[in-house]
Structure 1
Amino acid sequence: MILTYILAILSIANFLISFLYGFPIRIVLIPTVIALFIAYAKLDEKNKTIYDNHLDYLIRTFLIVFCMAFLIFIYFCITILLSLQSLYVDNYWENFLLSLPIFITPVFTISCVLWCIIRILNGMIKLYKQKDINPMTWFI
């Protein structure tokens, strides 16, 4: 069980490295997919154990982060289109407003990564203390 949490943290670390240094995204996907497969494989063994909610928590965290990443990607594509539009605008303020989403995209990405790190570390701490966790929460 702890291996799944470790792989989840490695995937977040790989995501940060790929975001900061431009490494390919497939480096990020390998630990994430391995952690997801382990979590799904252990679903049958989890009944009436302490791990019952922890696996649901990890799977739900993955699905939420996947949806957030998809929305950030869509937002980034719209940002690129708006920034291309700003090349043809002569007014300074219109140009500024069209290019403003470029500065917001990294904020969304970093906040998503921080949320995921906090959520995974919270799950690891509760697993270490042998406490149950509520998988339906959005925050801690």
Structure 2
Amino acid sequence: MANKLLDEIKWNDQGLICAVVQDKFSLRILMVAWMNAEALACTVQSGFAHYYSRSRRKLWMKGEQSGHRQKVFEIRLDCDGDAIVLLVEQQGGIACHTGRQSCFYRVFQHQQWQITDSVLKSEREIYSRHSDE
């Protein structure tokens, strides 16, 4: 299975692929993250989204600290093979570490960035016992 999963992917110079994460129900884009081969294989095997943290240089499962896991229903590879889309059910309704539904909560309007989504849960509440995702 690993070869069939990984063969058509065009990894970047760091061995990563961009993953766009979309809500299964609303179809809203929740976040963008990076995956390496191990993260993609763990995602397929477990059914929950795993990513590669470039800043921490390690594999991580979304929600391992916050509890806001992402159950994966579908994985799509784009025509060039250099980006994927994960169709997920966002557990807890929060994908962003800021406590919002989506990481894309700012819209450029009237020549400035406007915050359009409210905080559902404070970062302090989410990560009071844990380090940031």
- TM-score when scaled to structure 2? 0.22
Larger strand fraction of residues: 2
Larger helix fraction of residues: 1
User: Rg larger in 1 or in 2?
Assistant: 1
Work out which structure has the larger RCO, using CA pairs closer than 8 Å and 6 or more positions apart in sequence.
1
